[in-house]
Amino acid sequence: MKNNIIIKTLITSTIVSSIFWGAQAFAEGEPLTNLEVKGEITFFTNRTDLVEAGVYDRYTNEFRKMYPGVTSVKVIGFADYQGGVRPRMNTGDYGDVVLILPSVPSEQYGNFYEPLDMYNPDEIYFHDAWSNEGKMYGVSMGNVVEGLVYNKDVLAEAGVKTPLKTTSELYAASEKIANLNKIPFYVNFGAQWPLQQWDKYPIVLEGNSGVYEKMLTQDKAFFGDTAYHKSLSLLKTLIDKGWTEKDLITNSWEESKSILAEGNAGMFYLGNWFIPQVIDRGISSEKIGFMPIPAGESGELRAQMNHDWGYAVSKHSKSKPAAKAYIKFILEKSDFDELAGFIPTIKAKESTLPQLNEFMSYNPEIIQTPTNSSTFIEVTNRSQIDFYSGGYIQDVMTAPDFDNALKKLDGRWNRAKKRVIK
C-alpha cells in the first residue's frame, strides 16, 4: 500500500454526513443533527494527563454544541487502564465509550463491544485490527510510523544528505557523524525497551507484514538468511563500529532526548510520537527531521505503521448512537491527533506534525503492522523469547559469540514450534 496518509484536503462535511447513519447533511458548516444522538455517555480513557489538563472538558463542550441532545459526557481516566477496567468487564458497568483491552480475545468481542458501522475499509487505517467474523468492533485512536528522527544541524554539519536510501548510505552517514565526535545512532540500549525497534525492522526489510508468520516455517529464523538476521546484524554493526552510545548499560532514556535536542547525537530509530518529546527539550521544531530507515540495499523506502489503543462502544451502553458520535467527533473534529503526535486514523485527515509531512514526502511504502496469529503467540510464549521488550536483544548483542547466540535462539524457537505445531 503506497502512501495515502498525507492528502492536502481535509475530509469534507459532506463525506462525514454521508457515512453517519443517514443523518442530514451539513449546511453551511452547521453541525449534524440526529435525534438518536442523545442521553448521557461515559468515556473510560487512558489519557489521565488530558483529563487533568481540562482537554476533555473542552471536547465535551464542543461535542454538546454539535449534539445538544447529549445531556452529559463524563470522562474517567485510568493510569493503569487494564487494571482499572478489566475488573468491570464482567459487570456490564464499563462506560459507553471504552478502549479495547488486549486481554479480550477477538472471538469474545461481541460479548463486550457493539459492532461499529461507522467507516469503510478505505476510509481508515487498521479497519480490521479489532474485527471478528466480518464485524468491526474497534477504531484506532491514532497511529505511528517508525523511522529515523534526526537533528538537521548535526547531519548538515557532517555533510549528510537526506533521505538515506540504503544501508551503505546509513553506515557512511554514521561514520561522518562519528568524525564530529558526536553519537551517530543512539539506540537507548540501557533502557532496553527501545530495542524493540529491531523487532519491527524485519517488516521493513521483508517488505510485507507476513514476516512473523513466516518464522513459523523457517528452520533458521534468526541465524539463516532471514529478515530477522539482517535486522539484528545491522544493530550489531552499529555497536561494533562504535556508532552508538559508548555506555550501553546505563539507562539514559530521558537524558537521550536532550542529547538529540542539544546536537550531541544524530539519529534515533523510533516512532513519530518521539518527536514532540524531543521538541519539549528546547530545540525548535524546524531543526528536527524525520525520514524512513533504509530497507537494505534496494533503495526502496518503506515504513511500518502501528496503531494505538482501539476505541469501542460498550455492548451494554444505553446511548450507543451518542457513543458512536463521540468517537467520530474525537477522530474527525478534535485536535487529539495533534496533542498526541499521532497520524490520524482517518486517511483523508491531514497530519499537523510537520515532520510527518517530510517523512511522507519521500513517498515510502507503508506497511501496516499485522495481528499475530494465536500459533505465533503460543510459540513465542513457549520459546520464552521476549519479543518487543528488548531483553533478548541485549543478551544477543552482549554475547561473546554473536552467531552462536543467534543459533541458540533458533534452538529455542524450533523446540517451541515442535510443541505447538503438530
Q: Residues 17-75: pLDDT tens digits?
A: 332 333 333 333 334 456 689 999 999 999 998 999 999 999 999 999 999 999 999 99
201: cell is 525492522
Does residue 353 contact residue 341 with C-beta atoms inside 8 Å?
A: yes
Please classify residue 172 by burial: count the beta carbons closer than 10 Å to its beta carbon, then call 0-12 exposed, 13-18 middle and 19+ buried.
middle
Radius of gyration of the chain (CA): 23
Q: CA nearest 135: which of 154, 116, 157?
A: 116
Q: How confident is the model at residue 230 (pLDDT cuts 50, 70, 90)?
A: very high
pLDDT recorded at residue 34: 64
CB 409 within 8 A of CB 397: no
Torsion, Cα 326 332 333 335, to 10 degrees, reads 100
| pLDDT average, residue stretch 119-136 | 93
Tens of pLDDT, residues 153-172: 999 999 999 999 999 999 99
Query: Across the chain, what does the average pLDDT equal?
Result: 90
Q: Where are the beta strands (DSSP E) in 308-347?
A: 310-313
C-alpha of 227 from chain center: 20
Q: Which three cell numbers stand for residue 207?
A: 517488505
Integer Cα distance of 206 and 389 in angstroms = 21
Phi and psi torsions of 75, nearest 5°: -115, 120
Instruction: Answer for the pair 397, 188: CB distance below 8 angstroms, yes or no.
Output: no
* Cα dihedral 287, 293, 297, 301 sign: negative
| pTM for this entry | 0.77
Mean pLDDT (whole number) for 193-202: 95
Given the DSSP bridges, would you call strands 131-132 and 135-136 parallel, antiparallel or unpaired?
Answer: antiparallel
On whether the CB atoms of residues 397 and 239 are closer than 8 A, the answer is: yes
* Residue 183: φ, ψ to 5°: -80, 115
| Structural contact between residues 5 and 347, judged by C-beta atoms closer than 8 angstroms | yes
Phi first, then psi: what are they for 175, rounded to 5°?
Answer: -65, -40
Domains of the chain in start order, with CATH, are 13-142+309-340 (3.40.190.10), 144-307+353-422 (3.40.190.10)
Q: Stretch 213-230: mean pLDDT, rounded? A: 97
Question: Residue 19: what pLDDT?
Answer: 29
Q: Would the pLDDT of 106 be above 90?
A: no
State the number of CA atoms in the 13 A half-sphere of 170 facing the CB: 27
Q: Which residue has the cell 454538546?
A: 64
Question: Within a 10 A sphere around the Cβ of 346, how many other Cβ atoms?
Answer: 21
Model pLDDT for residues 277-306, shown as the tens digit of each residue: 899 899 999 999 999 999 999 999 999 999
Q: In whole angstroms, what is the distance from residue 72 CA to residue 42 CA?
A: 8
Which one, of 17, 43, 31, 117, lies nearest residue 326 by Cα? 43
Q: What is the DSSP letter of 245?
A: -
Helix (H, G, I), strand (E, B) or coil at 213: helix
8 Å CB contact between 185 and 246: no
Beta-carbon count within 10 A of 373 CB: 12
C-alpha cell at 95: 462506560
SS3 40: strand
d(CA 10, CA 6): 10
Instruction: Check residue 221 and report its DSSP letter.
Output: T
Omega into 321 within 30° of 0, i.e. cis? no
- Give 4's pLDDT tier (boundaries 50, 70, 90): very low
What one-character DSSP code corresponds to residue 35?
T
Determine contact, residues 321/37, Cβ cutoff 8 Å. yes
Distance, CA of 22 to CA of 74 (rounded, Å): 27
Distances (CA, A) of 279 to 19, 153, 156, 287, 305: 37, 14, 19, 9, 22
What percent of the chain clears pLDDT 70, i.e. is strictly above it?
A: 92
> Average pLDDT in the 255-283 region?
95
